[in-house]
């Protein structure tokens, strides 16, 4: 979905390096999420943010940090990358302010990260 963009799309880094993955959205949504997906497996929630001043840990937040710089931007950082953080990372957004009970999440195209 072009409304949710992720940069970079691919990244190779070395153990111990700090890296940042960025997510931007033009959907005007208030909520943003970061997920990790390992090959052949499902989505694991890392962090989520319901508005600019709100940050919440997900299932697997250890080794990661996030920053919600603006409503449209949510970045994920790996403080000191390790090989088992090699995975596909997805950003997602959802709209809660509309008041609709449904809250569909819309995903970006993903960032493929390889930690050597």
Partner 1 sequence: GESVGLHLPTLSVQEGDNSIINCAYSNSASDYFIWYKQESGKGPQFIIDIRSNMDKRQGQRVTVLLNKTVKHLSLQIAATQPGDSAVYFCAEKRNSGNTPLVFGKGTRLSVIA
Chain residues in the site for partner 1 (CB under 8 A): 1, 4, 33, 41-43, 45, 48, 50, 58, 90, 92, 94, 96, 101-110
Distance CA 86, CA 70 (A): 27
For residue 18, the minimal CB distance to partner 1 (Å) is 25
Distance CA 87, CA 98 (A): 33
For residue 114, the minimal CB distance to partner 1 (Å) is 15
Nearer CB in complex with partner 1: 18/110: 110
Distance CA 9, CA 110 (A): 6
For residue 15, the minimal CB distance to partner 1 (Å) is 25
CA of residue 74 relative to chain centroid, distance: 7
């Amino acid at each position: 979905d072009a409304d949710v963009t992720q940069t970079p799309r691919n990244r190779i880094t070395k153990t111990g390096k700090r890296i940042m993955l960025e997510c931007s959205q033009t959907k005007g949504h208030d909520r943003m999420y970061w997920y990790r997906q390992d090959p052949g497996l499902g989505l694991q929630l890392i962090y989520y943010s319901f508005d600019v001043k709100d940050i919440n840990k997900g299932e697997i937040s250890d080794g990661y940090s996030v920053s919600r710089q603006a409503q449209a931007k949510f970045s994920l950082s790996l403080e000191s990358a390790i090989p088992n953080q090699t995975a596909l990372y997805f950003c997602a957004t959802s709209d809660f302010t509309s008041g609709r009970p449904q809250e569909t999440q819309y995903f970006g195209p993903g960032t493929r990260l390889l930690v050597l």
